[in-house]
């Protein structure tokens, strides 16, 4: 597992103070699998060599119509939960194909956010929001390929390009994007369009570096959460001036509310993005 920090521009007007983004990567190093990733087959195993680089998750014989690298239902995972609250901005994965019975040609990689409809033990009402990517899955001999998908977690309606699919007779007739984005029960990738029919084949393939990127609140100086940094927020900061460990107005986290925190608040003045 790896954590990396990124920098993203924030809503500063008078000054620049970047908001941080965090990337969680399941590298499978040392046999770890904090994301609970699987191909859904008993043949899956974490290998120490041949990944991108070193360790990777390998399935030497996956008998299926379409490989579906995914998090395990019901298992603790960095890749599931309330994506809106987590402020997820993208997910990604690296894939390789060593062998296949017939062909993997012409199949785009799809990302799927699975909803269990708040009934974890009942699969008859599950459904998914999905986005078909622009790039096809790997072919034999192409080596490792990387795929990344933007996740509009702050959208309150089904984003452009996304579609929904139901899995059982009790699935909702008109699935709501808000239901899945606030409770992603499983993150799944699908080899192809999930509404198409495919024949069963034997696959020898691997995955590495499944990743999820989240961002911090874009305007931490918006203390009352009304979407605007304004007089109330300034009054709260000034009213707690001085030593104040753990206070929301301690924007730089140094245990004291002072000039640096005031500058950050003024730099964020106005509507947040």
pLDDT of 16 reads 32
Cβ 237 vs Cβ 256: under 8 Å: no
The number of beta carbons lying within 10 Å of the beta carbon of residue 265 is 25
State which H helix or E strand residue 73 sits in. none
Hey, what CATH class is 2-215 in? mainly beta
In CATH, which superfamily holds the domain spanning 228-271?
Dockerin domain (1.10.1330.10)
Residue count of the chain, please give it: 273
pLDDT of 260 reads 92
Q: What is the reported pTM? A: 0.78
pLDDT values of the chain reduced to their tens digit, one per residue, 273 residues: 655 544 332 222 223 334 457 999 999 999 999 999 999 999 999 999 999 999 999 999 999 999 999 999 999 999 999 999 898 999 999 999 999 999 999 999 999 999 999 999 899 999 999 999 999 999 999 999 999 999 999 898 999 999 999 999 999 999 999 999 999 999 999 999 999 999 999 999 999 999 999 987 778 888 887 778 999 999 999 999 999 887 889 988 888 999 999 999 999 899 876
pLDDT of 209 reads 98
pLDDT of 176 reads 96
pLDDT of 234 reads 95
pLDDT of 2 reads 56
pLDDT of 20 reads 58
CA distance 129 to 132: 10
pLDDT of 7 reads 34
Burial-class residue 161 by CB neighbours within 10 Å (0-12, 13-18, 19+).
exposed
Domain limits, the chain: 2-215, 228-271
């Amino acid at each position: 597992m790896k954590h990396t920090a990124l920098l993203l521009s924030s809503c500063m007007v008078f000054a620049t103070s970047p908001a941080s983004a965090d990337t969680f990567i399941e590298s499978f190093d040392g046999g770890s699998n904090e994301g609970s990733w699987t191909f859904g087959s008993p043949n899956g195993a974490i290998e120490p060599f041949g990944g991108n680089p070193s360790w990777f998750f390998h399935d030497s014989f996956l008998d299926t119509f379409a490989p579906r690298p995914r998090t395990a239902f019901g298992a603790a995972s960095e890749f599931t939960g309330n994506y809106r609250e987590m402020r997820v901005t993208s997910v990604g994965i690296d894939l390789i194909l060593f062998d296949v019975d017939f062909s993997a040609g012409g199949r785009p990689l799809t990302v799927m956010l699975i909803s269990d409809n708040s009934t974890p033990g009942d699969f008859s009402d599950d459904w998914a929001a999905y986005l078909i990517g622009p790039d096809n899955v790997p072919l034999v001999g192409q080596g490792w390929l990387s795929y990344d998908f933007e996740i509009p977690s702050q959208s309150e309606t089904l984003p452009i390009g996304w579609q929904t699919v139901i899995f059982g007779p009790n699935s909702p007739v008109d699935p709501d994007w808000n239901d899945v984005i606030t409770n992603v029960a499983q993150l799944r990738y699908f080899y192809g369009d999930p509404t198409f029919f495919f024949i069963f084949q034997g696959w020898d393939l691997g995955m590495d570096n499944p990743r999820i990127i989240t961002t911090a609140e874009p305007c931490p100086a918006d203390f009352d959460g009304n979407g605007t940094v304004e007089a109330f927020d300034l009054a709260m900061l000034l009213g707690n001036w001085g030593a104040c460990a753990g206070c929301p107005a301690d924007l730089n986290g140094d245990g004291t509310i002072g000039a640096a925190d005031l500058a950050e608040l003024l730099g964020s003045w106005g509507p947040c993005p």
